[in-house]
Every structure is written in C-alpha cells, then in structure tokens.
Structure 1
Amino acid sequence: MNADERSVGARGRNDLVIEEGGAMRSDDGGGLLDLAYIRSILWRERFVLVACIAVALVLGVIATLLTTPEYRAYASIQIEETGGQIVEGQDIDPEVRPNDILVFMATLTQVIESQSMALAVVDELQLDQDQSFIGDSLPERYTTLPEDQRAALRRKIAAEKLSDNVMPEPVDRTRVMRIGYKSEDQALTARVANAYVESLLLSELQRGSEVNSYAREILLEQIEQVRESLQEAESEAIEYARNNGIVGQPISSSRSASSGGDAGGGSEPVGTAQTISGTNLVTVNETYAAARIRRIEAEQRWLAVRDMAPMQVPEVQSNPVVQGLIAQKSEIERRLNELRERYREDYPEVAQLRAQLTSIDRNIASIANDVKSVIRDEYRIAQRQENGLLEELNSVSDSAIEEQSRRVQFNILNRDVTALQDQLDSLLNRFNQISSAANIDSSRLSSLDPAQVPNGAYSPNLFANLLIALLLGTGLGVGLTIMRQIFDDRVRSPRDVETKLGVPLLGSIPFTEGEPLQSVSEPHSHVAEAYSALRVAIDFTLGRKSHPVLQVTSSSPSEGKSITSIALASDYARAGRRVLLVDTDLRKPSLGKSLRTPDDDSERGFMNVLSKDAPIENEMLVNTIENLDVLPLGPLPPNPVQLLSSDLLPKFIERYRHSYDIIILDTAPVIGLADSPIVSHHVDATLFVVEANRAHYGQAKAAMRRLLDVGANVIGGVLTKYRPLEAGDSYSYSYSYYAYGTPTALEQKANARK
C-alpha cells in the first residue's frame, strides 16, 4: 500500500468519526464503558471522590452529635399452632398453617398499628392525662371547648402518637412477633411495649369468647334442622320399602354394619339394604363359579389321559394296588425264570407260575381301566353340576333384575338417611367440643418476653450514620465524576486517537518528569525507546518513498511536536540516515531555544536561507550529533502566511530533498493559523501530535478536518505525555518492555535522580 492509499484510508475513517459525532468506541465494536475506562475515570477523579466522601463523613459525625437520643424497647409474643376458630367444614381447632403464617403475621401487624389498639393502650396507661407525653400538641383554639371534647381530642392525639412510634416486627422463619416502641423517654418505651402485648392478648381472648358463643347458637339451629330432615327421610324410606316388598336389614343396622364391617370385609356401602334376592344371587353366583372351576379342572384331567393307554395314566401308575401287583408279578417272573433254567415248560410248577402271571396282568388291566373311567366320570359329573347351577343362576338373576329397578329409588332414600345421620353426628360432636371448651383459654397468642427498660439509646447510631454518609458521599462523588466526564472530551488513551480522530496510531510517548530532551538523549530510556518505535512505524508507513519530507504539527501549542521532531531526527541520525530538521514554526519557534548552545548566533536560521538565499551550511546549528543538521528559524518574519504561500518553500524543499535521506519540518499548530495547512501541500506526509489529557477531542477533530480538507497526507498520529493510569492501563504493563535488556542502567539513573 502506498502513501496515497493510506491517506485515502485515513480520510475515510475520519469522515466516519465526524458523521458519528465522535462517539467513543473500541476497535472491536465494544461499548462506551469498559473496566479500563472506569479505572481511568476513578484514577483521574480520585481527589473529587475522596473530597466528597470526607465531607460526607464529617457531616455524618456532626449530624450524629446534634441528634436527640431515642430509646427503643421490645416485647415479644408467640403465635400458637391452634386456636379457637369455628368455621363450617373445618376442625374445632384449626391450625395457623405454615402457608398462612405470613398472612396472619401481616394481619397482626395491621391490628397492632390500628387506631383501636392505640386507644386501648392510651386508656390502660392513661397517657391522655400525661402532659409530658402529649406536650403542646393541643392547639390553643381548642382550649375553649368543653372538657369532654378536649379529653376526646387529647385521647386521639395520644393514640396517633402511639401509632406513629409503635414497631411490630415479625421474626423470620418463626411464629414470634416483636412489638417495639421508640421514644425519647427511656422508661416509657418498656411500659408502652408491655401495654401493647396485654391489650393484644385481651382482645384475642374476647374474640375467642365471642366466636364460641356465636358458634353454639349457629350449631343449635343446624342440629334442629338436620333432626327434622332425618325423621322425614327415614319415614319416607321405610314406607317405600313396605310398599315395594323390599326385605332386608334395617337402615340403622345396615349403616352400623357398614361403619364397622371393615374388619369382616363383607359389608356393603353405607345406605344399601341387602335383600333375600340379592343374597341368593350372590350365593348362587359364588357356587356356580366354584363349580365351573371344578369342571374345568376335571375336563383338563380327562383330556390329558383320554388318549393314553391305561397303564400310562399317572393315577394308575401311582395306585398302591397296581404297584403291589406289579411287585408281585416281578417276584413270580423271577421264580419262573429260575425254574425254566432247570425244568421244561410242561413242568407243573412252571405252568402254575404262568397261570399266576396271567391272572395278575388281568387284574392290573382291570384296575387301570377302572381308574381311567373314574376320571371320565368325574368330568361328566362336574359338567352336569355346572349346567344345573347355570340354570339356577339365570333364574335368580332374572328375579334380582326385576327387583333392582325397585331398589334404585330405595337406595337413594337410604343414602339420604345415612348422610343426614352422619351430619347430625358431626354437629353433635362439634357442639359438645365447643361446650366443653367454652371456659378454656382459646387464644392463639401468648406472651413470650416482656419489654425491659433499654440501657442505651439506639439512635443516633454513629456506625450507621457513617455508613449512610459513606454511601451518599460515594454517590455524590460518582455523580460529580460522571458530570465532569460528560463535559470532558479530552484525548487520553492511544485508542482515542484512532477512534476519535480516525487516523492510525503510530506511537505513544510516555510522560516523564523533568527535562524531556534529557530523556530523549538517553538511548535506553522509556521516552527514547518509544520514539524509536515511532520512527520504525513511520518508516513502515512511508514505505519505499525516497528522500521523504515529513511535517510534524499539532492542534494547539505545547503538545510536544517540537520534542517529537527533535527525537525523530535524532533517532534517524543514530540509525545512519542523513537528516535535516527545520523549524518552520514562523510564529513561536522552539528548536533554536531547545538545541542552541550559548555561543551560537541567534540570527542564523531558516528565514535567512528562505528569503535571503543564504548558504544553508552557515545557518545551521553547531555541535549537533552526527548525520543531523538542524536549521532553526532565525529572525521572525513579518508576514508568515504570505511567505509560506509563495514558491520559496517548495523551491527550498526541492533544492535540498536529495541531499538528505529525510527532511523533518516542525510547523506551527493548526488551530487559528493557516501555516500548517499551507505547508502540508508541499510535504510528502504529515504526522499529527496529540498531547494526552490536554488535547480536546473537538479541537483535535477540527484541526484534523482542516488538514484533510486541504488534501494533507496525514499518515497517523502520535500520543505524547501519555499517562497509563489516567487512561485505565497498568503502568508496569505498558512500559516494562521499554527497558528490556538494560534494567541495571535504568535503575542506576532512577536512583541517581532520587
């Protein structure tokens, strides 16, 4: 990329910044604020923050000393798990359930803060008669009222004062409520807190008594109504059973059996009268089911042995008689085999044994056939029994179905009777419980700890006031810091040069204490290393431009452009390049003052070469470093703009361009002057110098716009006097590499300065 392309790119970026109004943004598109930015603000505004916090703490101490002490005493009550509520459908002693405790605590808080509770405490302690408590709260215009009206007014004022200072505080995760009272009277706090507890417990007892009395009256009315309804329902059910021939156990017996029949496991639900038809149907159905099971078992046995030989039937093989005959046959066969070895078949004893074997085989076959016949007969009997029971079941079912239509209405009546009986029993039990507990304390509240006279004041609290003052002071300091930052548009970090001005950053020069030229002359100092990095960046930016002419300028005076020009020229010279450094600031030159030795002639300089065509060798400063020629300004010209607008400067540049490797022109600031824009026409590149923490964004942007509007090739910017902490960076991180390779020498110089 050549210099012209880089210039176009710089102009494009600058135009973008101008269109966006100069909004701060990071290179990666981040937002306005980041940790480094916040850290830089806090560091820059540390004195404002410390001053605001210190003033707030002092005011907090003063306010604590001037505040009248206040005392506070607490009494506590406990909320029991059961109470005396009587609600239809609930138990006699319902719990204050865990999911309702918060609502109950909130309700209790409102009760404690109520006007009626405050009036009860006023009456108990007679605070309306205590002039020290009421004070001068009674207006003078009410002094002419009758005594009873003034007494009511004093009572109201005392109650309002109590309501304003009572402090009910539920204790988290417990059933405990603390009741506190604050006052300037140390003893009064405990008296009022205990009086609130007593009044609250008394009101709870009165409420419980009223609830019990009201509940008994309501329950008596309900009992009479249910009794009348039960009598009518029983009469109607009995009359319906008589008219429809439904015979079964009485309704009360059926209900009793059902309620206590769980142990037996055979009772019907409450309200059902079991009839004879129903009982027969159940019995026949159970008998038929058992007969069906027996038939299936017998059928399966017969199917299993039907196609078997009689001797293969398991029942035959396990028959004891058959087993005995088989054993007898085996013995005869053994004897027969022994005789056959000695005698012939016609031997009488052999013939006898053969006859016995034939008889035993016939007996075994007869028994096997009989066993198989028994299995077949059992199956046929079971089948006939099943068929007979099925006919009986069908007959009983028809009878039960006919009766069922009549029993539907009876069951409805029966269930109504049972429901009314249950309701009457429940009401009677409830009434008995209320009557038994009528004289028992049914309060849900009980006193836990009485209030004690406080030993010391709780207000003012020095620690709390200082903490509040610290927070307020910090908030005020942060607010002032934000306001200052809103109206502060100074360039502080290297990132600001690129994002705000739209030009590449070629280098950042750290701030140094003392004489800047001394730091520049030290080859391994932070400043010298930074300028060396700047020189390398300029070389890369200029590329292969031969014998370039570089202009160094800034938006306003004293931003470090002259020091930058000297440092760059010196670094180029040390690198073996022939350098011409020219002071072209025709308004307030500084190169001569910075580099001139006491014995130099102050009249020598650039103006003599430019206007009088004097030899340049005679106008240069003496005793400069090797390869560096410095041409100071010389006498101030009367008409700088006309002089620079002439062709003298272009001719000067063309005459000496090829005599030097690089020419550096230290020009005047841009703002308010036309010198630098004019010079930028005749140079190859312009370096824009911005002083950190001093150059304003608007001013620097206006200067950059003037240069770009006249076609200047602004190759980049350099940030001078850079303070990392004020920009949000770590100083050690930013500059530790500048001293790379020479820590010992730098430490010695630092120690020498100390």
Structure 2
Amino acid sequence: MFEAKLNGAADSELGYGQLFATLMRRRLLLLGVLLSTMAVSTLLSARKDATYRSSMQLLVESNYEQKANLRGAVPETLFTAPAAVEIDYATQIRLMQSPILLGRAVEALRSEYPDLGLEDLKRGLAVSRVLETEDKIETKILQVDYTSGDPLKSQRVLEVMKNVYLAYNLEQQKLRLSNGLSFIDEQLPTVREEVANAERSLEDFREGQGIIDPEQQATEFAKALNAIAEQRRAIQAEFQDSQMRFRDLQQQLARTPQGAIVASRLSQSQRFRNLLTSLQETELALAEQLVTYTDRSPTVRSLTQQLDRERALLQQEARRILGDRAELSEDKLYTEAQMGEVEMGLAGQLVATQTNLVGLQARDQSLAQAEAQLRNELNQFPQLIAEYNRLQPDITTKRETLQQLLKARQELAIEIGRGGYNWQVVEAPEQGIKTGPRVLTDLLLGTVLGLFLGAMAVFLRESMDDVIHSPEKLTETVALPPLGMVPRLPRSIVGQRWPLGGQLPLSGRSPAALPMLQAAQWPLFRESMDLVYKSLRRSSPVSALRSLAITSALANEGKTLVSIGLALSAARLHQRVLLIDANLRSPSLHHQLNLPNRQGLSTLLSGEDRQPLLHSIGANTDVLTAGPLSSDPVRLLSSDELRDWIRAFEKDYDLVILDSCAVLGVVDAIQTASLCEGVAVVARLDSVSQSSLIQAATALNGLNVIGMIANDVKGAQVAYGRPSGLGALFAESVSNRETAESAGRDAA
C-alpha cells in the first residue's frame, strides 16, 4: 500500500517536474531540432514571392421575407422545401467557391489572364462571413478575398467574381421558384380529384342513410326522447293521482265502477222509475190485502198477477236500459234504481275517473312504444357519426390543401416577378495590398513548430531509452523501498581536503592517493549517507542490523563509495564498523583506500590465514580487503567459513558491511547477500537500465532486501537533512516511510 501511494504521489505532484527534467536532459536534441526548424522556416520565408490581397464585401438579403402564413399554409411534404427562402450562408459560401462559378470567372478572365486556371483561382480565393467586432455576432455580410502576386490582378479577379455571383444567384433563385410552380401544378390535379372523390363518398353516405348531418339528427332524436320521457313521467304522476281518486270514490259509493254505471243508468230512466214505483205500489196493496185476505182471495190473486206482470215489465225495461248482459235481482233493481243526486254525481265522477285511467294507460303505452323505437334508432347513430366524421374531415383537409396550393401558387408567381436576392456591394474591390512574405511570422511559426517537433523527438527518444534517469523513475521501476539518494560528486572536490574532525588519519598520505576517501568527506555526501544509514536502521525488520550486503544490478554503480560512506557515517554515530571487500573478482576497496592487499578475505577463507588482517581507517572503522584474486571465488563465498567469520564479526562489531559484486552475470552477490541480515541495492542514475534493475530485483527475491539507494543524483541539494530539486520526492518518500514506521512502532 505504501509503494502504490508513493508512486501515485510521484505521478500527480511531479508530472511537470518530470517533463521539465526530461526536456533538460535531452536539451541538445531539443535545441538541434528547434534550430533546424527555424533555419528551414527562415529559408523558405526568404524564398517566397510577394503576395497581394484584395477584398470586397457583399450584403446578402432577400427581396422578400418568408411569410408565416405561407410557411404554414402548405403541408411540409408538398411545398415547404421549395418555398423556403431563408438564407443558408454556409451553402452560399460553398457555392461561391464551387467549380461552376469559378469556371465562369476563368472564362471571363481568359482574355486578360490566359494563364489563370481553375486551381489557381480556387487556391487564391477565400470567402467568409463577417463578424461584428464587439459582440462577435455573425452579420449578413460576406467577405471575399483573393490573393495573388499582382495587385491589379487581385482586384480584377474580384470584380469579375462579383458579377458572376450576382448573375448566378438571380438565376438560381428564379429556377427554385419556377420549380416550385411546376411542383404545385403537378399536385393540383391530384388534389382536385381527391376532393371530388371525398365529396362523392359523403354524398353516397347521406343518400344511403337518408340523413344530412347524423350528429344534428342524433341531437334531435335525443331531445325527442327526453320529451317523451318527460311526458311519461307526467302521465304516470297523473295516473297515480287518478288511481287515488278512483279508490276514494269507490269507497264512498261502495260500488264497483260497473255497478255505479248500472245504478246511474237505472236512476236516470224515468220509465224504469215509474215501473218501479208502480211495482212498489202493487206490492204495498198486496201486502195490505194479505193482512185481511188469504191467497185465494180474488183481489189477492189479481194483485199477484198484476205484480208478476209489473216485475216482468221492470226486468224487460232493465234489459233495455242495461242490455242483455245485465241480469239483476229484484232487490238489486230496487236498490240500484233509487240513487240520489249526490250518489249519482259520485257515480259519474267514478266512471269519469275510470275512463281517465284507461286513457292514461293507453297514452303511456303509446309513448313507451315511441320511446323504444327512438332508442333503437338512436343506438345506430354512433356508427353513422363515426363514418360521417371520417368522411367530413377528409373533405375539409383536401379542400384546405387545394386552397393552400392555389394560394401558394399565386404568391410564388408574384415572387418570380419580383426577383431573388438583393445583393448590395458594401465594399468594392480595390487594388491589392501586400501581405507577404512575413519573415517574422514565419520565424515565429517555425519556432513553435520546432519546439513541438523537438518535444516530439525528445519524448520519442525517451520512450526508446531504457536507462533510468531520475529517482522517481527508479521507484516506479521496482517495488523496493527508497532508502535515500547520493548526490553526484563534482569534479572540483577531488583533491580537496575537508575538515575531518579527527576521523581520518590522512597525515603521511598523499591526498591525491585517497580520492574516494576525500570524496566521502564532502559535506553534502556525508549528510546524504547519514540519511541513508538512518533509513537502513529504521527499515530493517531485524531489531539490530548487524550485517549488510551492498550490491547493484551492474558494475560501476558506486557500491564501493556507498559502502565507505555508510561505514564512516555509522562510525561517526559511535558504531564499531567493519567494512569487508567481498568482491573477489574485481576488488577495488584497497585501491580506493590505499591499503595493502597481500592478505584479505580470500586468504582467510582459503585457510592461508588463521586470523584476519584488519586495517583501521579511523576511529571505530576497520577494513578487511579482498586479498589476492582466487581462481574459484564462488567456492570461497559459499563455504561455511564465510558464514562463521560473518557471525564472529557480528559479535565484535556493531555493523558489518560487505561490498559485494554486481548481481547480474555471477552468483557471488546472491551468495554473499544470503549470509547477511540485510541487503541494500545501489542504482546509479543515467547508467542502470530498467530491465537490468528488474532482473536484479527478481534475482534477489526471497532475500531480506531492505531497500534501494539512488546514486549519482543530479541537482540534489541537502541542507540540514532537507533535500530539494529533482530528488526531492525520493527523499520525501524516505521521510514519509520512516514517519509511518515510527508511528507503527509507537502504536505497537
């Protein structure tokens, strides 16, 4: 997680810094491409012929505006495109640069300029729309420019082009309007036929159904139906009132309507009443005689016979009055024929009420039949209305289309007579003014192009370069923690004597014989090595780092210098340090420190020496040289004696540093590193390649690789432990990692 965060910080914070560093590193290539491009642009500009440009401006407006009613008067599918007169400036500009118009101009200019061709005219002509200066609004003005080597020619060409534009525009406008009339004339017969067919369909519908407007007739039917329903409700209300009255009269008379009629008729017949009176008188006389005489009395018999005759006459009269259906008993005839005036009036009302009830029922039934018939006919109207609504709008639409076509034809005919666009010359062509060559502009463009091409060349060369040039690229290449960086040693410090503070016994030795030791005392180098040593102590997973192998991917990456610097820094911090030259193939430590090499690590491992010959180079600092070269260094480095001696040295010294050989090519460094508690990899910038470093990191996989030291960093400045410049991020990442580890230990 720490490595991903570090790389992300490098990408986001130093993107511009890396870009600048790349350009500075390849500055010679960038400068070469820039100067070459500038030289070429200057040469080409100097060889250009003089050019002159003439301009004219034309105001483009139409003689008429497209009316809103004309735009919506005709269906879009029929007439919108031909009738549109809105100015399309983009199309106008393309037409003004088209070969057709340019060809006309070439023909018109052939007598004056026979060498002028279509391509020459097209190459020198430019048409653009003029912008309003303040608000940057496009105007209705078109500007035409022509560039040529002759100022008079540029003016003459524009004059001819002006005439060509005006003539062609009028021709095209008239042609478009004429095409519009032709289109309308083609559509008129078809539209008329469609109108006639639609009218015939509506006429057939009306004749077949016997109606003119089904919606209006349906409305009338609905009104009639509502009126019938209202009448029925009134009849039903009247019927209920009559029923109630009928029951009241029937209760008062205690007769049925038929009985009331019979009683009324009998009571109103004078003859019947006379016969009834005579019968009653005879009955009375007979009753009086029966009181005195028996039935055998002649008077009684005579009265009885008379009574029978009168009864027969009474029945006969009752049948005459009431008809053959009326058969009433004698008692009934007596009672029914003796009604008073009030009873006769009630009887008349009862009969009239019954008659009214019968009439109301008949009317209600008639209205019900009429209502049912109306409803049946009204139910058929939705289908008729749908059919009518389909036919009627079709006729209306086709009639409107016909009217619109006729109106559009009339308006187009007027527009043809009025002409097309109204072109006004705002600025006439004048004699061309000189526009080139512009040496300063060409030089500026060449500079910009040179910078661009130079940057492209730099980044192309950088993409092909596998060498690591910056600490940031180093941390991106391999996932090893950064331990610190060593600044590049200036040449001026070699041979100088720095105040050593009693650390190094240089007395009696030639300063020129100790270049590496003197370089190790350079203040900036010493500060950077102190930072590396501190990072080593904090980064080691072992509680106390006792042995450390210093190696690199390739040879000549500064392992020996870093080993000496670490040894001196640890000794200055009161640590007893032993520096061992473990490079048995090409040892260099004794040369750098001007020490004898007759005895050393090789003689100690081979058994020639029983005790190591140690050389002191200062307080708390001893050195064990490599010794004479061995024919088989791998055998010596893989022996148990080396492991035993390292363990013995770890007991006597606080830190044992082994200056090993390079990782790639031989197994010596891996073997040496496997015997130490930690491994540090030195990488020299501008020397080691990405592939070599990745291979070395892969080879050291599984070992306790503590981190990586960037060597030979250019521009790195260290003051009071604060690096800056190109290596600032590398040092900052070290500090951040140390802070995180310290916080982790405090939390634990």
TM-score bin, normalised by smaller chain: 0.5 to 0.7
Residue 618 of structure 2 aligns to a residue whose secondary structure is coil
Per the alignment, residue 609 of structure 2 pairs with: 613
Contact 2:155–2:432 under 8 Å retained in 1: no
**1:321-340 residue pairs with structure 2 within 5 A?**
none
Q: CA deviation at 1:286?
A: 12
User: What is the 5 A alignment of 1:249-260?
Assistant: none
The 1:243/1:131 distance shift into structure 2, 3 A limit, reads closer
Give the aligned partner of residue 719 of structure 1: 710
User: Is 1:644–1:679's contact at 8 Å kept on the other side of the alignment?
Assistant: no
Query: What is the distance in 2 between the residues matched to 1:433 and 1:232?
Result: 28
Mapped contact 2:215–2:385 kept (Cα < 8 A): no
CA contact (8 A) 2:589 2:625 kept: yes
- Please give the residue correspondences for 1:208-607 in structure 2 after superposition, counting only pairs within 5 Å: 208-209=173-174, 429=407, 433=411, 436-441=414-419, 443-453=420-430, 455-458=432-435, 460=437, 465-466=442-443, 468-470=445-447, 472-493=449-470, 500-501=477-478, 503-513=480-490, 514-515=493-494, 520-521=520-521, 525-540=523-538, 548-586=546-584, 588-596=586-594, 602=596, 606=600
1:687 aligns with 2:680: yes
What amino acid maps onto 1:641 in structure 2?
P
Deviation at 1:689, TM superposition (A): 1.8
Give how far 1:626 is off.
Answer: 2.0
Residue 138 of structure 1 is matched in structure 2 by none
Select the structure with the greater relative contact order (CA < 8 A; seq sep ≥ 6). Answer: 1
| CA shift in 2, pair 1:129/1:503, >3 Å | same
- Aligned partners of 2:48, 2:121: CA distance in 1, in Å? 21
- Unaligned runs of 5+ residues in structure 2 are 131-136, 233-363, 495-515, 718-722, 736-748
For the Cα contact (< 8 Å) 2:221–2:378, is it kept in 1?
A: no
Q: 1:44 aligns with which of 9, 22, 25?
A: 25
Q: C-alpha distance in 2, partners of 1:670/1:663?
A: 20
Aligned residue among 76, 89, 100 for 2:58: 76
Is contact 1:216–1:435 with CA below 8 Å preserved after alignment?
Answer: yes
Where does structure 1 lack aligned partners over 5 or more consecutive residues?
Answer: 1-12, 14-24, 135-157, 249-271, 293-386, 740-754
Counterparts of 2:189 and 2:611 in 1: how far apart (Å)? 137
Counterparts of 1:658 and 1:421, CA distance in 2: 117
Check 1:556–1:290 CA distance in 2 against 1; reply closer, same or farther (3 A cut): same
* 1:290/1:546 CA distance change after superposition, 3 Å: closer
- Asked whether the 8 Å contact 2:529–2:569 carries over to 1, the reply is yes
Q: For residues 542 and 648 of structure 1, do their structure 2 counterparts lie closer, same or farther at Cα, with a shift above 3 Å needed?
A: same
SS at match of 1:133: coil
Q: Is the 8 A contact 1:608 1:614 kept in 2?
A: no
Deviation track 1:256-283 (CA, whole Å, cap 9, x = no partner) reads xxxxxxxxxxxxxxxx7999x9999899
Shift of 1:423: 6.8
Change (3 A) 1:108 1:666: same
The partner residue of 2:152 within 173, 180, 187 is 187
Query: Which of the residues 48, 57, 65 maps onto 1:67?
Result: 48
Give the drift of 1:642: 7.9
Amino acid at match of 1:440: R
Report the alpha carbon displacement of residue 620 of structure 1 after superposing the two structures with TM: 1.9
Q: CA deviation at 1:119?
A: 3.2
TM-score, normalised via structure 1 length: 0.57
2:633 partner letter:
V
| Matches for 1:1-80 after TM superposition, within 5 Å | 26=4, 36=14, 38-39=18-19, 40-72=21-53, 73-80=55-62
Matched, 1:204 2:204: no
Return 548-557 or 498-507, whichever deviates more: 498-507
Other-structure match for 1:311: none
Larger Rg: 2
SS at match of 2:578: strand
1:641 touches 1:674 (CA, 8 Å); kept in 2? no
The alpha-carbon deviation at position 237 of structure 1 amounts to 10
**Contact 2:60 2:423 (8 Å CA) reproduced:** yes
Q: Shift of the alpha carbon at 1:574?
A: 2.4
**Which residue of the partner structure matches residue 99 of structure 2?**
115
**Where does residue 166 of structure 1 map in the other structure?**
125
* 1:694-728 superposed Cα distances (whole Å, 9 cap, x missing partner): 222333444555666xx865444322223478999
The Cα shift of 1:560 comes to 2.0
Secondary structure at 2:688 match in 1: coil
Query: CA 1:160–1:445 in 2, change beyond 3 Å: closer, same or farther?
Result: farther
- SS of equivalent to 2:144: strand
Change (3 A) 1:470 1:287: farther
Q: Which amino acid aligns with 1:78?
A: V
Instruction: Summarize deviations over 1:576-633 as a string: whole Å, max 9, x none.
Output: 222222334445544444444xxxx75676379747639767x624xx4322223445
Q: CA RMSD in A?
A: 5.9
Shift of 1:529: 3.6
The CA deviation at 1:519 is 6.7
Query: Quick check: 508-517 or 530-539, which moved more?
Result: 508-517
Q: Distance in 2 between matches of 1:591 and 1:578?
A: 19
- Residue 575 of structure 1 deviates from its aligned partner by 2.6
1:696 maps onto 2:706 in alignment = no
| Secondary structure in structure 2 of the residue aligned to 1:582 | strand
- 1:626 aligns with 619
For residues 486-544 of structure 1, what are the alpha-carbon distances to aligned partners after superposition, in whole Å with 9 as ceiling and x for unaligned?
3322344556556645544433334353357557546xx55334323332343355555
> 2 CA distance for matches of 1:228 and 1:628?
119
1:338 aligns with none
| Offset of residue 66 of structure 1 | 1.9
- 2: distance between equivalents of 1:408 and 1:682? 104
> For the residues of structure 1 that align with 2:415 and 2:484, how far apart are their CA atoms?
94
Mapped partners of 1:467, 1:192: distance in 2 = 32
Q: Go from structure 1 to structure 2 and tell me whether the alpha carbon gap of 1:82 and 1:95 turns closer, same or farther (over 3 Å shift).
A: farther
Q: Which amino acid aligns with 2:418?
A: I
| Distance verdict in 2 for CA 1:53–1:96, change over 3 Å | farther
Instruction: Quote the Cα distance in structure 1 between the aligned partners of 2:564 and 2:170.
Output: 98
Q: Aligned residue pairs: how many?
A: 559
Q: Percent identity?
A: 22
- Residue in 1 that maps onto 2:239: none
SS at match of 2:429: coil
Give the secondary structure class of the aligned counterpart of 1:509. strand
C-alpha spacing 1:664/1:605, structure 2 compared with 1 (3 Å): farther
2:433 counterpart SS class = coil
CA displacement at 1:567 relative to structure 2: 1.8
Q: Is the 8 A contact 1:83 1:444 kept in 2?
A: no
The answer (yes or no) to whether the contact 1:53–1:474 under 8 Å persists in 2 is: yes
Contact 1:501 1:704 in 2 (8 A): yes
Specify whether residues 273 and 186 from structure 1 end up closer, same or farther in structure 2 by C-alpha distance, changes over 3 A only: farther
1:128 aligns with 2:87: no
Equivalent AA in structure 1 for residue 600 of structure 2:
F
Offset of residue 54 of structure 1:
3.5
Q: Is the 8 A contact 1:109 1:168 kept in 2?
A: yes
Indicate how the Cα distance of structure 1 residues 543 and 167 shifts in structure 2: closer, same or farther if over 3 A, else same. closer
| Corresponding residue for residue 499 of structure 2 | none
Task: Work out the CA distance in 1 between the residues paired with 2:453 and 2:716.
Answer: 23
- Once the two structures are TM-superposed, the CA of residue 565 in structure 1 deviates from its matched residue by 1.5
Contact 2:104 2:164 in 1 (8 A): yes
